Amino acid sequence: MSSWAGAQRLAHLVANRAHDDLGVARERYPVDVYGALDAPEVRIMWRPTPRLLGIYLCEPGAEKGVLLNRELTRAARRHTAAHELGHNRFGHGTHLDREIDEYLDSAPAAGWPKVEKEAETFAAWFLMPPPAVRAALARLGLRTADSAMQVYQLSLRLGTPYRTTARHLGNMRHITHQQAAQWSRVRPERLKASLDKHASPPGSRACDVWLVDPASRDEHLVLSPGDRVAVELAAGARADTVAGGVTGNRISVPPWMSVVADSAAVSGCRRVVLDTADQVTPAVARVDVDDRVPWSFTVELRPPPALGLDPLTSAAFERQARDAEHRSAGGDQAGDETPEQTRVEIPAEISGRRMT
């Protein structure tokens, strides 16, 4: 099987089977990919790995493991975890996944190795089973996505990369392939900037901007450090709000968030932008909005996972990974070596330790 269409069909079946085997409810989002990875005795290890998305380790006589780059965004971490789970479910061998842009920012190239097509399409179907996509769309008050912005907001709820989500909606026939191709070319940074254009630019555009409005009543948002929330109030909402910039008599803002923009005077529809600022520890709060009809939503700040290996072991592991990368890059590029043929020697201290 070599075509993307064939990989899609097979991956959909394999992902469904994985949901069943691992007890993943297909109508719930975001799909718990880390719980699923842990279930079949695959160790999860978190490290900052600048040149790698992740590594799937499957060596004879050793326990299976997945090393994930902690420095990725939430969506990219989840997608990489699902991709590595795909290698596991398809029975692939040890595999290094590098080049962040290759998977997340560019259209899938026709020349991908078969194992990569399998793992990549698996990741999309595993994280975005149709019932979960429909549930997330319904939560946004949508039957299908009509704009790049709606795809972006959907991707935040599903915990999936924006472009992967756009392409997957096309594969699901929720939107046409033409729309999917068109929207996947939109830079998410542009969408984010259009949501908080009345605020000072954030330190990094890797952080997300969640859009909530009265339809978001009771929604639970899982934020990462640096994320912003653009709260849109019903047209005609009272404009004398957010006294002191933190706690107003119209929007209650948790102490670990700050108001960075209030576009009441700028447009008819009022938008207040909240920033998670410097908050890096877990936190949960309810935000009450005293709109024409009062509503509220919940924000949960979830920092990246803790490092999963002790520094000594990690250094040894990274040396092995670097060596493997070096070997695969030198002289083999013109050949037909596929990434799954790259071998990594796993230090015994890694393969024998339970990661947290």
**Residue 68 found at the interface with Zn ion (CB under 5 A):** no
**Residue 52 found at the interface with Zn ion (CB under 5 A):** no
Q: What is the smallest separation between the CB atom of 105 and Zn ion, expressed in angstroms?
A: 16
For residues 88 and 320, which CB has a smaller minimum distance to Zn ion in the complex?
Answer: 88
Q: Are 138 and 219 in contact (CB under 8 A)?
A: no
For residues 123 and 148, which CB has a smaller minimum distance to Zn ion in the complex?
Answer: 123
Span near Zn ion by CB under 5 A; candidates 93-101, 223-231, 261-269, 276-284 = 93-101
For residues 86 and 214, which CB has a smaller minimum distance to Zn ion in the complex?
Answer: 86
For residues 58 and 242, which CB has a smaller minimum distance to Zn ion in the complex?
Answer: 58
How far apart CA 286 and CA 259 sit, in angstroms, is 15
**Residue 180 found at the interface with Zn ion (CB under 5 A):** no
For residues 81 and 289, which CB has a smaller minimum distance to Zn ion in the complex?
Answer: 81
How far apart CA 105 and CA 27 sit, in angstroms, is 27
Query: With the CA atoms of 340, 344, 347 and 351 taken in that order, what torsion angle do they form, in degrees rounded to the nearest 10?
Result: 0
- Binds Zn ion (CB under 5 A): choice among 31, 80, 89, 97: 97
Question: In sequence order, what are the residues at sequence separation of 6 or more whose Cβ sits closer than 8 angstroms to the Cβ of residue 192?
Answer: 152, 205, 207, 208, 209
For residues 123 and 259, which CB has a smaller minimum distance to Zn ion in the complex?
Answer: 123
Size of the site for Zn ion (CB under 5 A): 2
Q: Helix 4-22 vs helix 114-127: angle between axes, to the nearest 10 degrees?
A: 50
If DSSP codes are grouped into helix, strand and coil, which group holds residue 73?
coil
The H or E element containing residue 84 is helix 74-89
Phi, psi of 212, rounded to the nearest 5 degrees: -125, 145
Span near Zn ion by CB under 5 A; candidates 66-74, 113-121, 146-154, 329-337 = 113-121
Q: What is the smallest separation between the CB atom of 90 and Zn ion, expressed in angstroms?
A: 10
Q: What is the smallest separation between the CB atom of 92 and Zn ion, expressed in angstroms?
A: 8
Strand partners, 106: none
Span near Zn ion by CB under 5 A; candidates 29-37, 111-119, 127-135, 308-316 = 111-119
Nearest to 322 by CA among 67, 41, 63, 23: 67
How far apart CA 128 and CA 195 sit, in angstroms, is 25
How far apart CA 183 and CA 154 sit, in angstroms, is 13
For residues 97 and 291, which CB has a smaller minimum distance to Zn ion in the complex?
Answer: 97
For residues 97 and 232, which CB has a smaller minimum distance to Zn ion in the complex?
Answer: 97
The H or E element containing residue 230 is strand 228-232
Q: What is the smallest separation between the CB atom of 119 and Zn ion, expressed in angstroms?
A: 4
The residue assigned the tokens 């410097």 is 278
Both tokens of 272, joined, read 């207040």
Q: What is the smallest separation between the CB atom of 49 and Zn ion, expressed in angstroms?
A: 14
Question: Any idea what DSSP says for residue 347?
Answer: P
- Binds Zn ion (CB under 5 A): choice among 119, 156, 274, 346: 119
Q: What is the smallest separation between the CB atom of 80 and Zn ion, expressed in angstroms?
A: 9
Q: What is the smallest separation between the CB atom of 122 and Zn ion, expressed in angstroms?
A: 10
**Residue 96 found at the interface with Zn ion (CB under 5 A):** no
What's the gap between Cα 1 and its chain centre?
28
Span near Zn ion by CB under 5 A; candidates 73-81, 92-100, 121-129, 180-188 = 92-100
For residues 51 and 190, which CB has a smaller minimum distance to Zn ion in the complex?
Answer: 51
Q: Are 164 and 8 in contact (CB under 8 A)?
A: no
Q: Is the bond into 30 cis (omega within 30 degrees of 0)? A: yes
Compose the 234-253 pattern: x for residues touching Zn ion by CB under 5 A, - for all others: --------------------
**Residue 340 found at the interface with Zn ion (CB under 5 A):** no
Residues forming contacts to Zn ion in the complex (CB under 5 A) are 97, 119
